Structures are given as C-alpha cells and as structure tokens.
Structure 1
Amino acid sequence: MKADALESFVQITFQRRGVQRLAATTAPAHDLPFLVGLGRALYWQHLLDNGVVRSGSDIARREGLHPSTVNELLRLTLLAPDLIERLMAGRQARALTLKWFQRHPLPVDWAEQRNFMASFE
C-alpha cells in the first residue's frame, strides 16, 4: 500500500426488512450506495489526476456505464472534506442519498455547501 493511501473500517451489520436494507443498530445511518458511489468517484478522480484516462467518457467506456452516470458521481469529489467525513460517518440527513446527489446540483464553494447542507437539518 502506498504511503499516501488511507484506509477506513466501519463495523456495521445489515438486516433485510422488505426490500430495503436498514442498519440493525441505532448507530449512525450509513448510506451504503452513497459510500460505494463516493469510493468509485474518488478512484476515478485519481485515474484522471494521474493521466490514466482523459475524461469521464473514457471511464464510462472502460466501466460500461453511461457518461452521465460517471459525471454525476465525479461531482461527489467536489464536496467539502468535512461534509464527506460527516457522510461517511453516517451523520447526514436521511434525505441526502446518492440519488439526491446525482439529481441535484451543489455549489462548488465549500462554505455555500455547508450552508446548503445545514438547511436539511
């Protein structure tokens, strides 16, 4: 593993209730699809930064996805670091799901993002 790589472990169990998976604990509510999407977006951004691929379209071709899907997920890399930390810890409003982030634009300025996110609480 590279010296600049980060690794995180969150112990959580999931229990199926109908068609939706809910955490079987009263601990923070982690949005698993969001975490997977964020992980993919950060990996793709790494590929772009290192010149492995030239664009989101290249990533889409390699992954067999629609280019808009890749670009929607890449927007997650523009979130303020403290907001990402909060989302990864499961301390976000229930309305802030991966689908919500894909469908709604966010301000690029981190201070504006914090104000915008505070409006959900």
Structure 2
Amino acid sequence: MKNLILGFSLVAVFGVTQVCGCGVCQASARAISYKTIAIDEPKEVTLRITGISCAGCSNHIHTSLSKTVGIISDDVKYPGDIATVKYDASKISEKEIIAVIENAGYKAEIIKQKIKTQHS
C-alpha cells in the first residue's frame, strides 16, 4: 500500500511541475530538441541491356532486380532492351544495380540523360 501511495504522490509532483508555470519547467520543455529525418526521393536510372533475346530474358532480369534490396520498381522492355529502375540510393548504387543485371547473365550500361536547353 505504501508503494501505491508513493507512486501516486510522484505522479502528482511531476504532473504539477509540468504545468506549474514557474518558468523552470517551461525552460526545460523548450530545451527538448527534435531530430528530423530526411527521406530521400527515389532515384531513377535508365539502362541499355545487351544480351536480351526474348521476353523470358527480360523477365529473368526483372526477377533478379525485384529480389534486390533497395530496388523500388523496374521496367525491363523487350524489344527495346531498355530497363528503367527506380531505387533507394541509400540502399543501393547504380554500380550495384548493373552488377545485379550482369550476375543474371546480361550486360548493362547507363544511358546518359540529355539535358534540354532552350535557345533564345
């Protein structure tokens, strides 16, 4: 019973100090900092794949990519031999994505995106 009474009195003391308005409690409440976590936007890379000879090949690449940590989505096109991969750069790099495709038995290279410029 003593423990129960002591527990209630501690709650009452700490509860009152949080709303007492003495200034000390308010200062310590302002001292609390919050950590902000930045969530990166997914990145996307377009790759030219060589060695694809059928839809089964593109499915094999898709299966390998979809089992890889950090890959958000992928679109492997046959015919066309192009793969567009959306990924989390904090978990996987473009070099590692290419390695996954090469481990599946194909070659991959990044297609450089052309920057459009306006001429006046």
Q: TM-score range by the shorter chain?
A: under 0.3
TM-score by length of 1: 0.25
Larger radius of gyration: 2
